Structure 1
Amino acid sequence: MIEGASFLFLVGSFLISVYLYYNNTRSNLLSYIKQFQGGKAPSKTAKPTKKYGQERELKITPLYITPEQVKNYDDRPWRPFRWPYHQTMSIFKLDINHWLDMDKYYNHYIEEKRRIWLKYGKENIDWTPGSEDACLELMETVTDHMLERYPLLFTLLEDKGAKGKIVRNELTKETLNMTHPLKQHPLLYVSKMAKEDFYVVLKDKETGTHYMAAAAVPFPGGSFGINSKIGKNIDAIHTDVPYYKEKLQKSMERWFERMEPNDPVERASWYISWDHKLKVNNVYQLPKFNPNLEEQMKSTDPKEFNVRVERQTLRRLPRSRAIIFTNHPVFYSLDEMKDEPLVPSLIKKIIFEGPPDIIKYKNFELFRDHIEPYLDGLIKRQLDKGLITEDTPLKTLPTYPFAHWVKTNFDNTMGWTNPSSDYDKEKANYTEIAKKEIIADNE
């Protein structure tokens, strides 16, 4: 296995997408200007693209779900499968309402964060001198977001102004006293409120480069700790990321300089495993911790394999100017996506015919022969049911990066519900299964 692969691909692919997004926006804008300066009126179909960093309001709309309703609440159904599989503009403007999303796995994730902190400590949550203001602003920003977005899930018990707030988490029943002097580090309070992992990036005033100043990352998915990355600059962290040197190394610092608080973005990447572990997925496990890994994989029913989607955001905090990268892993079983047109076909195409470096990075070769017959069966099922035909073009879905039903199956108290007749929302909850899967010493 490749140590640290999930982190490098996760952040690297995000930055590649952001870079391409910015350059695409810039080229469209320049083209529009040239057309206008050339004496020609812009065509009716030509639309000037918003310049990156242009002011826009980040308005939060309260979501009035109760702790009881959260138990059945599903977040947006991500399906980030692309074909052809190559680096394209795959990031989107972030609706600030979805910066820190809620779902039925909330309690499981918070409990797992606590377990990992108690067992592994600074291997997964750490900070460097000089990151204090950024971490404090992050804690305040997360607190205010949760209070405003989820007023029935987080209660403000006392506001002492500049001295901080006391908040009750109605989901965990824990009171968080975030008044000064703080009893714990801000990153620990953040980890008690949000499911997401957080990376705090700052600019080194002496070198002018950006570095990872602090991080709360209980769920990297791969076999490494942030203790080997903390304090290092972006180039040092991403040296081995595919396409980094060719497309990013000269441009990322410039892009970070231009990034403003009013332009948060989001995207998602993915890989496949046969477990629901948050700290170290089986597909990235090291032989010394699980010597029977391949045997275990082959004995697992292919329908139990799942896609781990890494839902990522990037935003800048206004006061400290820190750049905050978040990641929220969520699992979707192959079985629950079986009635979604083209999804099985896209997955098979990518794991067998995607770029060689991507196939190697995501360890597709380890398991793809094992699940191929199952995927073939799902493809035949879709043909038999008329969900697709032999002539249906195999390409990225028009609803990318979400499931085809995302706009039609939302309920205020239940979230999104898969419309498949075989889908059971209650049975699809993998919390108890995940708790039993923690075996190896590094999990």
Structure 2
Amino acid sequence: MISDKLVLPFAGAVICLLVLSSKQVRAIVAKYFQSPILNDKANTETKEEKPKQTMQKPSPLMITPEQVKNWDDRPWRPFRWPYHQTMSIYKLDINHWLDMDKYYWHYIQEKERIWHKYGRENIDWLPESEDACLELMEIVTEHMVDRYPLLFTVLADKKEKGKIIRNELTKEILDMTLPLKEHPLMYVTKMAKEDFYVVLKNPTDGLHYLVAAAVPFPGGSFGINHKIGKHLDIIHDDVPYYHEKLKKSMERWFEKLDEFSPVERASWYITWDHKLKVNNIYQLPKFVPNLESDMKSTDPKDFNIRVERQTLRRLPRSRAIIFTNHPIFYSIDEMKDEPNVPSLLRKIIYEAPESIIKYKNFQFIRDHISGYLDSLINRQKDLGLISDDTPVKTLPTYPFAHWTKTDFDMHNGWSNPKFPEKKPDYRESMQAETKFGNE
């Protein structure tokens, strides 16, 4: 039976540096935050004055609402072996801070439904977050208008008083002029399909706290009301290895993040549905008493990988740290011709560290899907995609599919070349899946 535990994508975003030495940790800081490796000598030396940095603006992507209906997001494949708990962060191309895809309408509709049904259980804020949330709204608005000129139209720009824009995808007019008619997080929720977490350092104790969040799609069985106002240690309480390995490094990591060095990463788990608020793999017996029989009655080829695509960036004015999470679903079936992917999945669900297996509930589903994964592995050998001697290891194109860089299409985004006639599309399934009492 699945345990009644909290599963928080925000926690996964900072499961970092757990198996690294202090020297390696400092090297990573230098690499990703473009600062000298921190040591006593570096701190005492006189540094040359650097040119003033400016926030990078995204390049316009001239896609229309009609084209978005067939647009695919980047194909994430964040599967690693050996499986070590590391941050696995990459410098974020600001063009991909808030990505677009054909599921946009479904995500926005689900956000509205969840807000009306659950309210501040999933979207909440503390008074001290006011400035940060306002700045977040302004930066999200600016990004969407700059990145997608044909999807978001500025109807009026009243400068310091704010903007009025039209979302050309939903046809909703968003009046963000002061005084605001809704909370800034509500406007952010109506523009981007990502979840947003707002973290601020408390000036009294110098520690970081979650002060606001718009998270309709946590995937697990919790509400933001359990996390709002809590310190990072509380938020990450259930994360494997956090207290043993990561706790001391966490505050330093947040302290070093600057507004010019946003990063991204991805985590994942397996489920047999496309629900956004609570996936079946993390359902509770009190809501779904027949969960195991439901799982076992599902064809293994219908199981999905839910990728949690995450970013971290700092806002320049409020100094808030913004964490975003965007769930994306990929069926195991659509990855069956990608060399070593089935082999990686099978190895990880059985041989990953036991705490990770438990955290992601792999033990609940692995025996049901292992035969299917074995058949895909043998199929890849028959097709010559892999051999008996092919090592099972992290993909050379990690964290993306091997065809990502060569198959970009300005009208379709990143399209799997193995689906030339009918691209993977889960919109119909998303709409049809049964919602339970906590969804």
TM-score (norm 1): 0.91
Please, which of 356, 359, 363 is the counterpart of residue 357 of structure 2?
Answer: 359
Deviation at 1:6? Answer: 2.1
Deviation at 1:206? Answer: 1.4
Instruction: Tell me, in whole angstroms, the C-alpha distance in 1 between the residues paired with 2:57 and 2:305.
Output: 32
Deviation at 1:308? Answer: 0.1
Q: Which residue of 2 aligns with 1:431?
A: 427
Deviation at 1:16? Answer: 2.8
Q: Which residue of 2 aligns with 1:174?
A: 172
Please, which of 426, 436, 439 is the counterpart of residue 440 of structure 1?
Answer: 436
Stretch moving more, 261-270 or 15-24: 15-24
Deviation at 1:412? Answer: 1.1
1:233–1:421 Cα change, 3 Å: closer
Deviation at 1:144? Answer: 0.2
Deviation at 1:424? Answer: 1.8
Q: Which residue of 1 aligns with 2:79?
A: 81
Q: Which residue of 2 aligns with 1:292?
A: 290
**Large movers: runs of 4+ above 6 Å:** 18-21, 31-34
Please, which of 135, 138, 145 is the counterpart of residue 136 of structure 2?
Answer: 138
Deviation at 1:240? Answer: 2.5
For residue 12 of structure 1, give the secondary structure of its aligned residue in structure 2: helix
Instruction: Tell me, in whole angstroms, the C-alpha distance in 1 between the residues paired with 2:150 and 2:5.
Output: 38
Please, which of 125, 128, 148 is the counterpart of residue 126 of structure 2?
Answer: 128
Q: Which residue of 1 aligns with 2:330?
A: 332
Deviation at 1:30? Answer: 4.8
CA deviation profile, 1:254-308 (whole Å, cap 9, x unmatched): 2222211001000000000000000000000000001111111011011100000
- Paired letter, 2:205: T
Q: Which residue of 2 aligns with 1:98?
A: 96
1:56–1:244 Cα change, 3 Å: farther
- Paired letter, 1:155: T
Instruction: Tell me, in whole angstroms, the C-alpha distance in 2 between the residues paired with 1:3 and 1:359.
Output: 15
1:258–1:175 Cα change, 3 Å: same
Instruction: Tell me, in whole angstroms, the C-alpha distance in 1 between the residues paired with 2:38 and 2:324.
Output: 33
Q: Which residue of 2 aligns with 1:23?
A: 26
For residue 339 of structure 1, give the secondary structure of its aligned residue in structure 2: coil
Contact 1:277 1:438 in 2 (8 A): no
Q: Which residue of 1 aligns with 2:113?
A: 115
Contact 1:5 1:361 in 2 (8 A): no
- Paired letter, 1:306: N
For residue 218 of structure 2, give the secondary structure of its aligned residue in structure 1: coil
Alignment of 1:112-261 (within 5 A): 112-261=110-259
1:412–1:32 Cα change, 3 Å: farther
Stretch moving more, 22-31 or 258-267: 22-31
Deviation at 1:183? Answer: 0.7
Instruction: Tell me, in whole angstroms, the C-alpha distance in 1 between the residues paired with 2:87 and 2:307.
Output: 18
Alignment of 1:350-429 (within 5 A): 350-421=348-419, 424-425=422-423, 428-429=424-425
CA deviation profile, 1:212-270 (whole Å, cap 9, x unmatched): 00000000000110101101111122123212122222222222222110010000000
1:120–1:401 Cα change, 3 Å: same
Q: Which residue of 2 aligns with 1:45?
A: none
For residue 253 of structure 1, give the secondary structure of its aligned residue in structure 2: helix
Q: Which residue of 2 aligns with 1:51?
A: none
TM-score (norm 2): 0.92
- Paired letter, 2:27: N
Deviation at 1:411? Answer: 0.8
CA deviation profile, 1:333-390 (whole Å, cap 9, x unmatched): 0100000000000000000111100000011111111111111111111011111111
CA deviation profile, 1:123-180 (whole Å, cap 9, x unmatched): 0000001110000000000000000000000000000011110000000010001111
Instruction: Tell me, in whole angstroms, the C-alpha distance in 1 between the residues paired with 2:320 and 2:418.
Output: 43
Contact 1:214 1:230 in 2 (8 A): yes
For residue 173 of structure 2, give the secondary structure of its aligned residue in structure 1: strand
- Paired letter, 1:435: Q
Contact 1:158 1:167 in 2 (8 A): yes
Stretches of structure 1 that go unaligned for 5 or more consecutive residues are 35-53
Contact 2:240 2:359 in 1 (8 A): no
Contact 2:63 2:150 in 1 (8 A): yes
For residue 179 of structure 1, give the secondary structure of its aligned residue in structure 2: coil
Identity of aligned residues (%): 69
Instruction: Tell me, in whole angstroms, the C-alpha distance in 2 between the residues paired with 1:331 and 1:162.
Output: 39
1:306–1:189 Cα change, 3 Å: same
For residue 128 of structure 2, give the secondary structure of its aligned residue in structure 1: coil
- Paired letter, 2:239: V
**In the comparison of the two structures, how many residue pairs are matched?**
420
For residue 199 of structure 1, give the secondary structure of its aligned residue in structure 2: strand
CA deviation profile, 1:69-117 (whole Å, cap 9, x unmatched): 0000001000000001112351100000000000000000000000000
1:294–1:185 Cα change, 3 Å: same
Contact 1:201 1:213 in 2 (8 A): yes
Deviation at 1:205? Answer: 1.3
Stretches of structure 2 that go unaligned for 5 or more consecutive residues are 42-51
Q: Which residue of 2 aligns with 1:5?
A: 6
Contact 2:305 2:332 in 1 (8 A): yes
Contact 1:311 1:328 in 2 (8 A): yes
Contact 1:56 1:263 in 2 (8 A): no
Deviation at 1:4? Answer: 4.7
